[in-house]
Structure 1
Amino acid sequence: MDANNSMCVLRERKQQAFDAACCDFVVNHDVEAIARKLEMSGTMLRNMLNPNQPHVLKPVVLASISRASGDYSIVNTLFAEDGVVTVPIPNAKDNLNLFERVLKHSAFSGELSSDALSMCNAERLPRSTKRKTLAKAQAALGNLVLLINDLEHRTTGLQPLVQIGTDFLANGAPIPGLA
Structure 2
Amino acid sequence: MDANIAMCRLRDAKQNAFDEACCAFATNHNMAALARKMEMGETMLRNKLNPEQPHKLYAIELAWLCYHSGDYSIHNVLYSDLGTVTVALPQESEQKNFIERTLLNNALSGELSGDAMQMCTAERLPRSTKNKTLAKAHAALGNLVLMISDLENRTTGATPLLSMGLDFFANGAPIPGMS
Residue equivalent to 1:126: 126
Structure 1 residue 92 displacement after superposition: 5.6
Secondary structure of the residue aligned to 2:88 is coil
Hey, what's the Cα distance between the residues in 1 that align with 2:79 and 2:159? Answer: 40
Structure 1 residue 35 displacement after superposition: 1.4
Residue equivalent to 1:28: 28
Residue equivalent to 2:3: 3
Hey, what's the Cα distance between the residues in 1 that align with 2:101 and 2:164? Answer: 15
Q: Single out whichever of 94-103 and 147-156 deviates more from structure 2.
A: 94-103
User: Residues 61-108 of structure 1, C-alpha deviation per residue, up to 9 Å, x if partnerless?
Assistant: 111111111122222222233333222223463554333432332222
Secondary structure of the residue aligned to 1:93 is helix
Hey, what's the Cα distance between the residues in 1 that align with 2:111 and 2:102? Answer: 14
Equivalenced residue count is 170
Structure 1 residue 129 displacement after superposition: 1.4
**Structure 2, gaps ≥5 residues long:** 173-179
Q: Percent identity?
A: 60
Say whether residues 1:107 and 2:125 are aligned partners.
no
User: Residues 33-68 of structure 1, C-alpha deviation per residue, up to 9 Å, x if partnerless?
Assistant: 211111122222222222222221111111111111
Q: Single out whichever of 89-98 and 15-24 deviates more from structure 2.
A: 89-98
Residue equivalent to 1:15: 15
Hey, what's the Cα distance between the residues in 2 that align with 1:24 and 1:38? Answer: 19
* Superposition CA RMSD, Å: 2.7
Residue equivalent to 2:70: 70
Matching residue's letter, 1:144: L
Cα distance, 1:153–1:80 mapped onto 2, change above 3 Å: closer
Contact 1:89 1:145 in 2 (8 A): no
**Structure 1, gaps ≥5 residues long:** 168-174
Contact 1:154 1:164 in 2 (8 A): no
Hey, what's the Cα distance between the residues in 2 that align with 1:150 and 1:18? Answer: 31
